[in-house]
Structure 1
Amino acid sequence: MTRQLTIGIHLSAASDTNSIGPAIDEQIAFVQRAEAAKLDFVFKADYLVAHPALMAKTKTTVNLDPSLLFATLARETTHIGLVTTISTSFNPPYVIARQLQSLNWISNGRIGWNVVTSIDGAKNFGEDAMLPSQQRYEKAKECTDVVHQLWHSYPYEAMKAKGDMEKIQASVKPIHYEGKYFKVEGPLSVPMHPAGDIPLFQAGASDVGRQFAATVSNAIFAATPTMEAGIALRKDLRQRAQALGRSADAIRVLPGLYFFIGDTYDEAWQMYYEAHAHLTVERKLQSLQAVIGKDFSDLGLTDTITIDMLPEITDAIRSKTHATLLRDYVANYQPTLEQLLWRPEVIGSAHLVAIGTPKQIVNQIKTFYDNGALDGFIGVPGNNASLTQFYEQVIPLLVESGLFRQKYNGSTLREHLQL
């Protein structure tokens, strides 16, 4: 039997309202709607720095702590997975392990952990600068190892020995961990949920990020705006997983699918342009400079950009993943400056962009899936109209094609992911 698509959705600011504040009721309705469509999970990113541009973009949702938010959403839902984001760079393993296991009990086994190393925020945690990428991932690996040890330090079976101190002491044991970054005694004060290990998600696409993902992750949030990028990433991750003794199917590659869906192709494109109408050429040039490390404001919009015009990628670049994707695009297509400025790596987050009618969106998803470019995706709705089309048209078409479930076959995130 062919494994079906894994589909999540980003708890984003896809709202046409002008309300100011956390809008909790809207977010509850958002997640309940996703659950009604039988999606695998809802995902929420997290930001540890108050970026002005992000604050302006997400004014209707406010950047609430995702783990605290999901504690509320867990009580308003029954089946859908809830994937929270927690940084290993600034949070002690004991706190992470306790929070996640608590959420797993609150949600009855529906929590997932998006493991991030963060690219900024050090000064908000008493540190002068971020560790280099290699060290951040080294610390993340140690942190996830400790978290797993803590989860297993208080097994679910120990709860059956209630009142029997001798049996409890025999099964609930300290971990006595001492490593390069952490020193943790244990055991954890929260027992393991019977659903089993909490699924891990990760988004790093650099070489060290891929190796980390291949080692610990069940799914990777992929920055793959083209089929070629998706095929290459998925093939590489599967090979790395096998080299580490894991199954090639152990990791799901889930690109962000930034979608605009209309009754006609032209209507969908109009939605896309309207969504980015606020981005002036000057602002897009600034964004391009931040991604690639070079100012192109002296060029005309019709000027051709070639690979020799781009600087080498250095540690000064904010995101090596986005910079690499742009370099590959330029090398393959020699775009005009205007075409480059409309790239998702410049105006968005290097998501896979899907623009068209419901049938066209489904065909695009199916083509990527059939060619081994993805195992599923995380929906990022461009606006409310597209979100409605997604639920009312796209999901039913995917169900009809056999690529997605008609009903939940379990109640935990591990069951949804077929782990």
Structure 2
Amino acid sequence: MSVSKEFDVIVYGATGFTGRLVAEYLSNQYGVDGNVKWAMAGRSEDKLNSVRAEIGAPENTPFVVADANDPASIREMAARTHSVLTTVGPYQLYGSDLVAACVECGTDYVDLCGEPAWMHQMIKEFGEKAKETGARIVFSCGFDSIPFDLGVYFLQNAAKEKFGHTVKHVKGRVRKMKGTFSGGTAASLKATMAAAMQNPEVLEVLKNPFSLTPGFTGAEQPSGAEIVFEDDMQSWVAPFIMAAINTRNIHRSNMLLGHSYGEDFTYDEMMLTGPGEQGQAIAKAVASDKSLASDDAPKPGEGPSKEERETGFYDVLFVGLGDNDERIHVGVTGDKDPGYGSTSKMIAESAICLVKDAVDTPGGIWTPAPAMGQKLIDRLVANAGLTFEVEA
């Protein structure tokens, strides 16, 4: 970028559970004196120093002290870097001032947001201003929604090669997954539900699959809320909890890509649970699971052990269906557990991709696919343990 700033990426929230995983990844992958100039940011210099030692980062890894309760410190941080990577959520509680500061400073921003009502608000408040200042604001750069958003993008590009055009319907089906959802995801869900209870407008946003595509409402969408047996999959399917955010991001991507998937595009996302009575029983158990919203859900700052992160994985199938029995299958996989190990790598590579690769993307509020597309896919495959493959 033409503007000279002190850092390429500042990791805000580096002393939290996910933030320190991001800092550890950047330290191991890029060092501190290499091509990527990055810094750790948080409320306490002492805690930053402690975390730097814990993760084995070089002693000259820079610190930035910034506090969500001190807007001046947030703006000063945004002014020093090309990109702010934030793991400090729930974003509806702690993110608005940071988005405002990044937009004002023309600074890029990436987060792990799965909060559509807050994203809807940020698009309304800052979408036009971000275009003016050149700030690229990219929400949902973790397990929600990169594997799904980029999975559909990759499938549609493969469909154009195979059929000469994109397909009208895509099914996302989680085939396998081992790992836990993050404490941040649980906290975001609870904050969103609390906001919906207080404000009926929030509830309407949450119910609308096109809540992130202002001015556009497409075709009626599959509900994805019913337990059904799918003959083509030879498996029962159950609702997938991340579908509520992933579907909205995918429809926003389609809009930002000039509706290249079609104005009548439909998408649904569910989890495969297997055939027979056992598959049906698992589907019912998945559908009735409310643990993420319970008091037993993981708390922000908590997370799985290193062994649990290392042995986690996910495998998602995307099925594209077009006219005249056209059908295409794409698989997306990730190593490490989705909510922490893989997410920390995905958001780190997203921040770097914006600064180093996607330099021609103009200012605005984006989703990962239209902002970075194949450039991000290439980075994730090369560095972050993801695969994207056409299977049939």
TM range (shorter): 0.3 to 0.5
Greater C-alpha radius of gyration: 1
TM-score (norm: length of structure 2)? 0.32
